Chain A
Amino acid sequence: MRAITWRGVNEIGVEDVPDPTILDPGDIVLEVGLSVTCGSDLHLMGGYIPAMRAGDVLGHEFMGTVAEVGPAVTRHRVGDRVVVVSFIGCGQCWYCRQGLWSLCDNGNPNPGMTEALWGQSIGGCFGYSHALGGYAGSHARYIRVPHADHGAFTIPDGVSDERALFASDAAPTGWTGADQAGVQAGDVVAVWGAGGVGQMAARKAMLMGAERVVVVDRLDNRLEQVRTHIGAETLDYEQVDVLAELREMTGGRGPDVCIEAVGMEAHGTGVQHVYDQVKQQLRLQSDRPTAVREAIHACRKGGTVFTLGVFGGLVDKFPLGAVMNKALTLRGAQQHGQRYVPEILDLMDSGEVRTEHLATHVMSLEQGPEGYRMFKEKEDGCVRAVFKPAG
């Protein structure tokens, strides 16, 4: 079958790879309907997560039709239209039972790598490097889905493929951020990053009763999407002083909850940015934490800062003094989708969550390299490049 692969730093290919098969009784093989680029892929592309090998199939956000089921699968049949969570959870370990699915103890066959880096390993993810299990990704005609009774969800008839697709990763990631940050009715919530993840975090914060939700970015078309499709307010950090605006908007307090949805390649300005870029390129720090620093400064005393953006290792010039003295709660997570997808699909069905606008560019697998280039450069207003393996 054809698949989009990682070939090297900033080198994306399209090539023939073997078809997947059922390997365990709990597996399904899915015929991929739609599979989409995620901001997380950019960190792989750029070589910031160095556990990729040439030939690895990319993609972890996808939906499709069940083509084959293993003998132990009870919730799915051949022909079902399903969306699959990007993280693989066994459903039986303590973390899965707590609803902390991306922390699954049994989902990553290479736990040594992340255990060595972080002290504990986390779960496995499709198409996301050998450090997270080495599973093949979804930018292909077919994909094998282990533990399918836990990770695959039947899509309601009224929900289109284009909408359901984002119940795989972007929406549950936003849900994880707003929910785990403990947004309360009446809160003011600020979100850094107006990509798919930031938009979905903003939407969930609104649904949780936040009084005001403000999204920070610099890309006009994305901020426009936030205002029209999500219904949140926006700040363009190249036009205004974000910290001053947020302080003024909150009567001098600062937002109750600050959600960072930018990640390790944050864009920045001035001396701080040059410093971070040089250090990152010399591998003296693995991540550029520009937006996290700003979120920590903006947050009200006793508030919560949540990092949804992906970071791999070490950061520099971290404002720990502000965290400690302002009594902040600092949290982060990879998404716990298995816990949120049923609610998201219901809300998609009732029209309260709409995501089609994120799919700005729909392409064939053969256009993989072009799609990734456009997504990376945010060319032509690209918010997400969506691949349709059937052409």
Chain B
Amino acid sequence: MATDTLTYLAGAVVGRVRSLVDPTGSASATAGRTAAGWLAVTVLRDPGDVDLASLPAPLAEFGHRIEVRADPAPAGKGTELRARLRDRRPPGPAPARLAGADPEADLRSALRRAKQLLEVGAVLTVDPVPHGRRTATPGGALLEAWTRGAAGAGVR
């Protein structure tokens, strides 16, 4: 099975679970995205420390393809950092979004990494993780595909 198919399948599985709790989650192709198309994270830094002129590398790499905003968060929670694609194609369907296979997945992942850079100073390295023999099982392949997309997957 192609990776794309696997990723999509993995997202579809979660999509089904979510639709049980959140009936709007899979009701329409655009469900889950705001009309304005912003993706957001809150960063525990003062607004003065979030310089839109010199964005953290993961966001800077998007250049003019994105718009970015920073607003103070209430109650000492830091700064609300928002980004959106200038060229907003229709968002992917819910399962693709949940699997990190939609057009905004890279931006979602970049926002999270930018937040970590601003808060911690570095993005946590995970690989290589010591592991034993990977036997091929359908579940394993599905999970691997999903893991690959997981950094960019989600509902934000």
A residues touching B (Cβ–Cβ < 8 Å)? 1, 3, 5, 7-8, 13, 15-20, 23-25, 50-57, 90-94, 97, 105-107, 109-113, 115-117, 119, 121, 130, 133-136, 140, 146-147, 313-314
- Does residue B29 face the partner (Cβ distance < 8 Å to A)? no
Docked pose: A112 CA to B150 CA in angstroms: 5
- Does residue B1 face the partner (Cβ distance < 8 Å to A)? no
Once A53-B143, A111-B154, A314-B17 are accepted as A-B contacts, the answer to whether A106 and B115 lie under 8 Å apart by CB is yes
5 further contact pairs, Cβ within 8 A, besides A18-B130, A112-B153:
A54-B137, A57-B131, A57-B132, A111-B154, A115-B153
B111-126: CB near A (< 8 Å → 1, else 0) gives 0100110011010111
Quick one: closest A residue to B146, CB to CB? A113
Residues 100-156 of B contacting A (Cβ, < 8 Å): 100, 108, 112, 115-116, 119-120, 122, 124-126, 128-135, 137, 139-140, 143-144, 146-147, 149-156
The listed residue (B124, B125, B130) touching A140 by CB distance below 8 A is: B130
Q: Is the CB of A116 within 8 A of B132?
A: no
Docked pose: A115 CA to B40 CA in angstroms: 14
Q: Is the CB of B154 within 8 A of A90?
A: no
Q: Which 3 A-B pairs have CB atoms at the shortest separation, nearest pair first?
A: A112-B153, A110-B150, A55-B132
The listed residue (B14, B116, B119, B139) touching A113 by CB distance below 8 A is: B14
Once A112-B152, A117-B17 are accepted as A-B contacts, the answer to whether A90 and B132 lie under 8 Å apart by CB is no
Docked pose: A109 CA to B120 CA in angstroms: 14
Chain B contributes a number of interface residues (CB within 8 A of A) equal to 49
Docked pose: A107 CA to B146 CA in angstroms: 18
Q: Which of A90, A109, A136 has the most CB of B within 10 A?
A: A109
- Does residue B84 face the partner (Cβ distance < 8 Å to A)? no
CB neighbours (8 Å) of A109 from chain B are 124, 126, 150-151
CB neighbours (8 Å) of B133 from chain A are 15, 54-55
Q: Which of B20, B44, B77, B132 has the most CB of A within 10 A?
A: B132
Once A55-B131, A313-B17 are accepted as A-B contacts, the answer to whether A90 and B119 lie under 8 Å apart by CB is yes
Once A7-B135, A106-B116, A107-B124 are accepted as A-B contacts, the answer to whether A136 and B130 lie under 8 Å apart by CB is yes
Q: Is the CB of A115 within 8 A of B154?
A: yes
B57-99: CB near A (< 8 Å → 1, else 0) gives 0000000000000000000011000000000000000000011
- Give min CB distance, A348 to chain B, whole Å: 30
CB neighbours (8 Å) of A24 from chain B are 122, 124-125
Q: Is the CB of A121 within 8 A of B154?
A: yes
Docked pose: A16 CA to B130 CA in angstroms: 9
Q: Is the CB of B14 within 8 A of A53?
A: no
Docked pose: A390 CA to B45 CA in angstroms: 44
CB neighbours (8 Å) of B155 from chain A are 115-116, 119
CB neighbours (8 Å) of A20 from chain B are 130
Q: List 15 A-B contacts (CB under 8 A).
A: A15-B132, A15-B133, A17-B130, A55-B132, A92-B44, A93-B44, A105-B116, A109-B124, A110-B147, A110-B151, A111-B153, A112-B108, A113-B153, A115-B153, A116-B154
Q: Is the CB of A16 within 8 A of B150?
A: no
Once A113-B150, A115-B154 are accepted as A-B contacts, the answer to whether A57 and B119 lie under 8 Å apart by CB is no
Q: Is the CB of B129 within 8 A of A135?
A: yes
Quick one: closest A residue to B22, CB to CB? A119
Quick one: closest A residue to B20, CB to CB? A314
